[in-house]
């Protein structure tokens, strides 16, 4: 495999594991007191790297969207819609069954409809990718810098109005959209960045810049009550972590695990929350287990997702992870083309 792609797989694997650990801390226990305090301190910090880097890589991997025909783009959106339609109710049911939901089974139909309008479940990432892919295709002819200006403003408003604290897809998209579109618009620059020779001086400069922006942001927020550089800090921290991890990505064989996980992020992301919820409260929550249990629970989430994927493929249930042929935007477009052709024939003047 190309070294550059292997590195992206490594980063994707590392980030999705951090996401699973975060969800294990959120949903794996009946009380926050069953988790070591260090998890409560570290998880908020990792908010600046987990989903931003996953979004950046997702945008990078669909870099040539401007060269794709609309049928291919519709097919990709249909794939994401299929996964969301299938797995979002599964996640909601898992929350209900584990008593971690704020609604009952009677509210499930209404919740499913609401989740299409503004997702609040862990499947929001799939929903966001679906929406952002469509927007990226619609803006494919627009120069990148005007789009970048709008994204920077949207990102700044997200922090200024405190939306970054919400766990809602609609308010997360302005914050994370800049990473997704950045992966698309700055594909060549990112390609050069991750394939260039590693420089300790560059890493030191990035770390110093991130620390400087963080200090400036803290002082301005405490003095004026505004988030002047929170978005810039998030972007800079993500870039710094992306570059820093290059030191790890070329260490063999310790990183092969993360690279392997990175090639299978989809089945892990789709199924890890139901697995964690099934085991909710089963891990010990005292002594050393305060530190160990979240990691064991996350391991179960990752392993359970991969195991379910393998069992589904063996049982001929590949439709759990890939849309069937009849749920394809290309078929819809063929039908529309036939309708247009029929209307055109009807509109043609007839000879006397």
Contact (CB, 8 A) for 262 and 11: yes
The predicted-structure confidence for 65-82, as pLDDT tens digits, reads as follows: 766 777 888 889 999 999
Element housing 11 (H / E): helix 3-27
With CA atoms as reference, report the closest residue to 271 among 321, 318, 316, 323.
321
Q: Which residues contact 235 (CB under 8 A, 6 or more apart)?
A: 52, 178, 179, 182
Q: Which residues contact 281 (CB under 8 A, 6 or more apart)?
A: 28, 29, 30
Max Cα–Cα distance, the chain, nearest Å: 93
Residue 334 pLDDT class (50, 70, 90 cuts): low
Q: Is 316 helix (H, G, I), strand (E, B) or coil?
A: coil
- What is the C-alpha separation between 128 and 124, in angstroms, rounded? 6
- The whole-number average pLDDT for the span 177-201 is 87
- The whole-number average pLDDT for the span 7-14 is 89
* 106-115 LR contacts (CB < 8 Å, sep 24+): 112/88, 115/88
Contact (CB, 8 A) for 65 and 58: no
- What is the C-alpha separation between 15 and 13, in angstroms, rounded? 6
The predicted-structure confidence for 245-283, as pLDDT tens digits, reads as follows: 877 766 555 578 888 899 999 999 999 999 999 987 777
Model confidence at 58: pLDDT above 90: yes
Q: How far apart are the first and last CA of the chain?
A: 67
Sign of torsion over alpha carbons 194, 41, 48, 201 = negative
Mean confidence (pLDDT) of the chain: 84
With CA atoms as reference, report the closest residue to 277 among 15, 16, 96.
96
Backbone φ and ψ of 209, nearest 5°: -65, -40
| pTM as predicted | 0.86
Q: By 3-state DSSP, what share of the chain in percent is helix, strand and coil, each rounded to 5?
A: 75, 0, 25
Predicted pLDDT at 298: 93
The predicted-structure confidence for 218-238, as pLDDT tens digits, reads as follows: 888 888 877 777 778 888 889
With CA atoms as reference, report the closest residue to 11 among 258, 270, 302, 298.
258
- The whole-number average pLDDT for the span 153-169 is 71
When mean pLDDT is compared over 41-45, 241-245, 271-275, 294-298, the highest value belongs to 271-275
- What is the C-alpha separation between 227 and 82, in angstroms, rounded? 38
Predicted pLDDT at 352: 45
């Amino acid at each position: 495999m190309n070294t550059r792609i292997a590195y992206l797989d490594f980063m994707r694997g590392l980030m999705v594991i951090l996401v699973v650990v975060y969800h294990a801390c959120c949903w794996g226990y009946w009380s926050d007191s069953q988790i070591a305090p260090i998890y409560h301190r570290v998880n908020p910090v990792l908010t600046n790297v987990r989903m931003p880097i996953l979004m950046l890589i997702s945008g990078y991997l669909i870099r040539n969207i401007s060269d794709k025909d609309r049928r291919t783009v519709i097919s990709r959106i249909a794939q994401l819609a299929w996964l969301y339609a299938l797995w979002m109710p599964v996640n909601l049911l898992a929350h209900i069954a584990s008593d971690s939901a704020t609604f009952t089974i009677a509210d499930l139909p209404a919740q499913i409809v609401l989740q299409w309008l503004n997702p609040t479940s862990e499947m929001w990432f799939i929903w966001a990718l679906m929406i952002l892919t469509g927007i990226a295709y619609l803006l494919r002819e627009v120069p990148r810098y005007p789009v970048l200006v709008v994204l920077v403003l949207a990102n700044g408003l997200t922090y200024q109005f405190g939306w970054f604290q919400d766990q809602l897809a609609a308010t997360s998209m302005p914050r994370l959209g800049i990473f997704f579109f950045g992966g698309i618009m700055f594909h060549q620059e990112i390609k050069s960045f991750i394939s260039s020779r590693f420089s300790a001086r560059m890493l030191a400069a990035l770390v110093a810049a991130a620390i400087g922006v963080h200090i400036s942001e803290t002082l301005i927020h405490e003095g004026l009550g505004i988030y002047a550089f929170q978005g810039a800090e998030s972007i800079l921290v993500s870039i710094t972590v992306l570059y820093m991890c290059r030191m790890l990505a070329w260490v063999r064989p310790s990183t092969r695990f993360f690279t392997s996980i990175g090639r299978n992020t989809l089945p892990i992301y789709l199924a890890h929350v139901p697995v964690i919820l099934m085991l909710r409260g089963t891990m010990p929550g005292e002594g050393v287990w305060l530190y160990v249990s979240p990691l064991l629970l996350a391991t179960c989430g990752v392993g359970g997702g991969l195991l379910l994927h393998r069992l589904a493929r063996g049982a001929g249930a590949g439709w759990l992870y890939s849309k069937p042929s009849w749920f394809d935007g290309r078929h819809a477009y063929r039908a529309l083309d036939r309708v247009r052709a029929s209307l055109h024939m009807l509109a043609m003047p007839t000879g006397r």
